[in-house]
Chain A
Amino acid sequence: MIAEIDLYGIYLPALLVWAALALPAFALLRALLRRAGLYRLVWHPPLFDLALYILTLGGVAALTESLLS
């Protein structure tokens, strides 16, 4: 388990760092999906965005856990 990330001597809880990392990834993913025209098939875009962000966060966490630990 990766519990904390050392940022120049400040130890942050890992989840906070993953959440920050997931933000640009989520923004990129959303831009791609928008360009692909997927948002025409979405019922409630903000709800969809929230779900997408949580999934991205899970993906980042799972990826770093499997790569780094």
Chain B
Amino acid sequence: MKPLLARAARILLTLALVGAAGLMGWQLWRYYMESPWTRDGRVRADIIGIAPDVSGFVAEVLVADNAVVARGQPLLRLDQARFALALQQAEAVVASRAATLERARRDERRYDRLTEGVVSIQRQDQAHSEAATAAAALQEAEAQRDLARLNLERTEIRAPVDGTITNLTLRPGAYVAAGSAVMALVDAGSLHVQGYFEETKLGRIHPGDPARVVLMGDARPLSGRVESIAGGIADREQAGGLVANVNPTFSWVRLAQRVPVRIALEEIPEGMRLIPGRTATVTVMPGGVAPSLLRP
């Protein structure tokens, strides 16, 4: 009887420990594998390509590389000579057209005063139409002058938003073409964190959930909020051409893909360098509750 009892006690002790280990293992798995967190996060911001509206030589670069600029601050000036001349030319055309209009109006008044019989109706009509044409021509010239003035103003390129100039290699003397970006401006107002979450974790993430962001190399946590979840990611099987190119080796192992989740940052501690591209660890707290190892 005694050996049997001892044996039962030994089995029970072992099984109790195995049971406890099972619970612990399950909890560890849940915490590390299933709760919505990711080490694959990035700081992001919208980058504006600053492009001149007119072509020309760069006369002055008014900012340094990596400078913090305010909205409306001048960034660079193009050589103005050509545009100043164009404005002069347009102003001269306006003056000439104005003179033409004045003469046409005077002629019109003269013909109007003459009575029928002295001048033909056809000639009177002609005077009216000449005056109208001259008025229209003046308007055209004025529009051309305004355009020349606008071009002249646009030789000074200003910052469209608050932000940081980055990777500036432009030097005076370079020729820049209208519409092609010559410097990058990181929009400070658009800084956010993008967390790439496995699709298996998406069910636990909802817009509005609080999130905790830790940048690589900086222990201070940032608080944020899930703003939105990406509307789509690429389907690699459909990437090229008109027909699907399906990967044939997909029998056993499949990896969860990752979907970008946009995290809006609530406040940024003083001195924290939020540089777009930095790596971040993002933990989402569904319903405001952080994942915990101890809570089931």
A residues contacting B by CB (< 8 A) are 1, 3-4, 6, 11, 13-15, 41-44, 47-48, 50-55, 57-58, 61-62, 65
Contact B291 A54 (CB under 8 A): no
In whole angstroms, how far apart are the Cα atoms of A62 and B25 in the complex? Answer: 12
B residues contacting A by CB (< 8 A) are 7, 9-11, 13-15, 17-18, 20-22, 24-25, 27-28, 31-32, 35, 37, 39, 212, 214, 216-217, 281, 283, 290-291, 293-294
| Given A1-B291, A3-B281, A3-B283, A58-B17 contact (CB < 8 Å) | no
Q: Which residue of A lies closest to B20 (CB)?
A: A55
Q: Smallest Cβ distance from B259 to chain A, in angstroms?
A: 19
Contact B21 A50 (CB under 8 A): yes
Contact A11 B293 (CB under 8 A): no
Q: Smallest Cβ distance from A36 to chain B, in angstroms?
A: 13
Contact B24 A55 (CB under 8 A): yes
Q: Smallest Cβ distance from B215 to chain A, in angstroms?
A: 12
In whole angstroms, how far apart are the Cα atoms of A15 and B24 in the complex? Answer: 13
Query: Which of B17, B27, B291 interacts with A51 by CB under 8 Å?
Result: B17
Query: Which of B10, B14, B37, B217 interacts with A1 by CB under 8 Å?
Result: B37
| Given A15-B28, A15-B32, A41-B9, A4-B39 contact (CB < 8 Å) | yes
Contact B293 A4 (CB under 8 A): no
In whole angstroms, how far apart are the Cα atoms of A4 and B9 in the complex? Answer: 41
A-B contact pairs, 18 of them (CB 8 A): A1-B31, A1-B212, A1-B291, A3-B283, A4-B39, A6-B217, A41-B13, A43-B14, A44-B14, A48-B17, A50-B21, A51-B18, A51-B21, A55-B21, A58-B25, A61-B28, A61-B31, A62-B293
**Which A residues are CB-close (under 8 A) to B212?**
1
Contact B10 A41 (CB under 8 A): yes
| Given pairs A3-B39, A3-B281, A55-B20, 15 additional interface contacts (CB within 8 A) | A15-B28, A41-B9, A41-B10, A42-B14, A43-B14, A43-B15, A51-B18, A51-B20, A51-B21, A52-B21, A54-B25, A55-B17, A57-B24, A58-B293, A62-B294
Contact A57 B291 (CB under 8 A): no
| Given A41-B9, A41-B10, A1-B21 contact (CB < 8 Å) | no
**Which A residues are CB-close (under 8 A) to B37?**
1, 3
Contact B293 A65 (CB under 8 A): yes
**Which A residues are CB-close (under 8 A) to B17?**
48, 51-52, 55
Contact B281 A4 (CB under 8 A): yes
Q: Which residue of B lies closest to A42 (CB)?
A: B14
In whole angstroms, how far apart are the Cα atoms of A27 and B237 in the complex? Answer: 49
**Which A residues are CB-close (under 8 A) to B7?**
43
Contact A11 B14 (CB under 8 A): no
